[in-house]
Amino acid sequence: MVFQDYMNWVALVWFLTCWVGYTYYSKRKAENTECLSAQLYSFRIDWVRNLMRRENRISDLALLNNLVQMVNFLATTNIFVLAGAVTVLYSSGHIIDLLANHPFVANTSVEEVQIKLITLVLIFVYAFFRFTWAMRQHTFVSILIGAAPNVVQGQPLTQDQEDFAIQVAKVSDRAAHDFNYGLRSYYFALSLLPWFINPWIFMFTAALVVAVLYIREFRSRTLRILVRSRESYLRIYQADSKAPSIIPSKLLAPPPI
């Protein structure tokens, strides 16, 4: 038996339930509730609409490059974290010696410590694949920006041009979701660290991460600001008689993930 204490199994199942359960819940809730992803998806469509009216798109590619650099930074950092976790994996005995003198640390064995470290390594491997796929999708967006058709300033977009803007925004949105999944992996990896001390603390921190993610995605002050900025954006365009029609944000639910 891998774990001597059955609470370690309970804690591991709870951890996976929190992670997978929140991922499923957030995707379903985003379909009919204001959230960060829905608001940013609306702005992505407006971004592509506006860039098609600009002949010089250097500023748009610069903005996209900022996104790529942020993903690249975390993907690179992820490699160093993986290297550190694998190194510690071969020093499991030292971890037991380090924790043995603390009365609040649960009894454990070298095999249990190794399983916990392997779980941590697998999380960072998953995050690495998410980050690198997000980077590739951002490069796809840069190609689409380069191929985007030119629209005469002040003229409304044709149906094909509107569809093109939405499809480019979807690729960008999917890249953002993969980046978000990789970043979420970091959150849950941090919640796993208390597992080396006590499974009960591990269960608490996993639930705490879910609460933090939910508040930031659906109840944060930043979300309220984005909603108000979207409303102001729509009013500005509706006040301009020459501006093309804008789809209300409530109709722009993020595409399926």
132 vs 137: CA distance, rounded Å: 9
Confidence label for 196 from pLDDT (cuts 50, 70 and 90): confident
Give the closest residue to 173 by CA, choosing from 257, 234, 251: 257
Separation CA 93–CA 117 (nearest Å): 12
Beta-strand ranges (E) seen in the chain are none
Q: In this structure, is residue 257 part of a structural domain?
A: no
Within a domain: residue 1?
no
In the chain, how many domains are there?
Answer: 1
Cβ pair 199, 5 in contact under 8 A = yes
C-alpha dihedral, 58 to 61 to 67 to 68, nearest 10°: -120
Domain of residue 68: give its range: 6-251
Cα 189-194-197 angle, rounded to 5 deg: 145
Distance CA 179, CA 87 (A): 26
Please check whether residue 194 lies inside any domain of the structure: yes
Domain for residue 256, yes or no? no
pLDDT for 129? 96
In a domain, 68, yes or no: yes
- Asked if residue 136 belongs to a domain, the reply is yes
In a domain, 20, yes or no: yes
Q: What is the largest CA-CA distance in the chain?
A: 74
Residue 235 identity (one-letter amino acid): R
Q: What is the pLDDT of residue 250?
A: 46
Task: Return d(Cα 231, Cα 228) in angstroms, integer.
Answer: 5
Q: 29 in a domain, yes or no?
A: yes
Tell me, what's the pLDDT at 85? 86
What's the predicted TM-score (pTM) here? 0.86
Give the model's confidence band at 253: pLDDT under 50 very low, under 70 low, under 90 confident, else very high.
low
> Which tokens go with 243?
């501006």
